[in-house]
A and B are shown apart, each in its own frame.
Chain A
Amino acid sequence: MKVGLNFNQKGSVLPAVLIMSAIGSALVVGSLTTAGSHYSLSVTRANSEAALLIAEAGLNDELALISTKTTTGTASTWVTAPTKLSGQPYAGRKGSVAGTNGDFWVYASTTPYGTTPWTGTGPVYLNSTAVVGGAIRKASMEVKIAAGTPTGTSGSDFNALVFNSATTEGGHSEGPVAVCGTWQGPYEINQHTTPGKVNTIGNIGLWMCGNLTKNGNVKKVFNGYDAYVSGSIAGSLQMLGNGKLYKTMDESWVGTQQSLWTSRSETLETTNDLRINVSDPNNINVDVSANTLNGNLRVFWVNATDVKALKTINFNNMTKDDTVVVNVVGPTVDWGWTVNAPFKNRLCWNFVCTDTITVKNRAFTGMMLAVHARVNQYNNIQGNMIVNNWRNYGAPELHFTGFKFEGSLAGGSSTPGSNASGTVGFTGSYNAS
């Protein structure tokens, strides 16, 4: 059989393949586009769910924050104002939920999602906007806020409030000392100023829940102030001026203070703040009055590495109603700054995430709020020291006269006590979008 070939049909295979390939490609692209769209849609939905939860987290976060403030100051300062900070997409305080993606911005106003700041009376709504991926969700709820009365003591009466152990080689404190752990080494306590107070107990020079260790060491409590020691006493504890030694005490008080001050430290760290310009090689000048983010609570921040260089920092235009807080960010601090301020007793250095602070090259001035840190003290500390562990070398001093912290970390006239008895709660009016 002879097969007839039609050579006029040459080239038909290629066009046919091209056409089929184009059709196949179109189908594949279409399928991929559909699958991709569905995937994107599912991710967007998941992000949207996550964003709503984070927006609600913002509302609850603000509630907890308000609870830390309701015993002092004016009510309007308890809440976050509807201010949009430079560089932020939304008004309010920025925060997040640890372990998840996304952020929230939360503030208070007089109406749901409104922009009028709460004046301290009338309805108050907390408003939160959250962003996760590209998804944006909002939530608002009405809350009821009632002022409370501080009924506990704040711990700021103590020159040193040490949550755990202390080791000293010598030196003295002008004010009272509280330690909860073991305290090894000689020391002279409360040489100058007024006594400490724990709840209703006054006239305290030493508040020690734990043991005074090491035979041969001498500790002295001056001026007739009393010592409370729950544990054993090795060596000598001399009560000068007829102060009394008590062995029964509230051992939980320091723990309560640790919780309170940790909460305050974390709150201050998340408060809106301005970075201090440290570029000058010698003198750093801070215009306190220019920081208007939180009323009279003037919050700044620097890196831990910034404070190492030997410099002088001047806090200018600070009034008696101002409280200056500087958040120092970083795990290790080697202190090198001399501090000038018209009201050094209203100055707080907040080391929220610092593990170790060394005070050697320059004296430290202002309240040292370092709830997780061990302090290695070679030089004087002028102000309250609230730390986790304390180690001194040589005989450096703790100065209190003129340095005892009198500022307000809640924006009011003074820092409240430990038992915040104000109430903050959800009233039932909630909406989300």
Chain B
Amino acid sequence: MNRQRGVSLIELLISSLIVVMVLVVGANAWVYGMQLSVAQYKTSVASQIARADVERAKIVGFANLPLGTIAGNSLSATHNGAVEYFDKNGVALGNSTGAYLSLQRKIVDAPITISGTTYTLSTVSKRTITTTIKDTSNNTVVLVLGTVLAKDGL
């Protein structure tokens, strides 16, 4: 009888150990799963915001997008757009308060024809547009979408 009681105690200890292990693994898995879920949501919203921004740039068009600042003698110019902020639903905010994601559009023009401090674009110029979405909580890049515009192109 005493030996059988001892076995039950060992059983109980093993069972407790298993329960603890399952709880620890399960808790971690739950946290990981939540992170995946959040990442999935963030990627989806970021993708939609970025795509919408690139499409807006395409609608404005090759000729009408803002010109940038000439980079030394490199025959290229860069325009960094204003940072825009969005909440968790992808709705644009007026400022960074309560922001979930941020967006910044960059336009690099090359080659360009420089005239003094300004420049013009030609039929051989390309305007490379990249839209970067960042997580405002840690300023990490969620995704970057980009395309190239040419005169009389898409």
CB within 8 Å of B: which residues of A?
A: 7, 10-11, 13-14, 16-18, 21, 24-25, 28-29, 31-32, 35-36, 38-39, 41-43, 45-46, 49-50, 53-54, 56-61, 63-64, 67-68, 97-101, 141, 163-164, 252, 255-256, 258-260, 262-263, 266, 371-372, 388, 420, 423-426, 430
Q: Scan residues 105-136 of chain B and give those whose CB is less than 8 A from a CB of chain A.
A: 106, 108, 110-115, 122-126, 128, 130
Contact of A57 among B25, B47, B148, B151 (CB under 8 A): B148
Given contacts A18-B18, A67-B151, contact A42 B32 (CB under 8 A): no
Q: Is B79 part of the binding interface, using a Cβ–Cβ cutoff of 8 Å?
A: no
Q: Can you list 12 contacts pairing A with B, beta carbon distance less than 8 Å?
A: A14-B18, A31-B29, A35-B36, A39-B36, A42-B39, A42-B47, A57-B148, A63-B152, A64-B150, A98-B108, A100-B144, A426-B154
Interface centre among B8, B40, B73, B147 (most CB of A within 10 A): B147
Given the complex, which residues of B lie within 8 Å of A14, measured CB to CB? 11, 14-15, 18
Which residues of B are at the interface with A, using a C-beta cutoff of 8 A? 1, 4, 7-8, 11-12, 14-15, 18-19, 22, 25-26, 29-30, 32-34, 36-37, 39-41, 43-44, 46-47, 50-51, 54, 73-75, 106, 108, 110-115, 122-126, 128, 130, 143-154
| Given known A21-B18, A32-B33, A263-B111, contact A425–B152 (CB-CB < 8 A) | yes
Q: Find out whether the CB atom of B46 lies under 8 angstroms from the CB atom of A53.
A: no
Q: In terms of DSSP, what is the predominant structure of the interface of chain A?
A: helix
A288 to B37, CA, bound (A): 57
Q: Chain A contacts of B50 at CB under 8 A?
A: 49
The answer to whether B125 and A64 touch across the interface, beta carbons within 8 angstroms, is yes
The complex places the Cα of A164 from the Cα of B74 at a distance, in Å, of 12
A-B contact count (CB 8 A): 186
Partner of A53 from B73, B106, B115, B146 at Cβ < 8 Å: B146
Cβ of B26 to closest chain A Cβ, rounded Å: 5
Q: Which residues of A contact B143 (CB under 8 A)?
A: 46, 50
Q: Are A100 and B146 in contact (CB under 8 A)?
A: yes
- CB atoms of A99 and B106 under 8 A apart: yes
How long is the Cα–Cα vector from A163 to B40 in the complex, in angstroms?
50
Residue contact B7 to A99, C-beta cutoff 8 Å: no
Contact A13 B145 (CB under 8 A): no
Q: What is the bound-complex CA distance between A16 and B12, given in angstroms?
A: 11
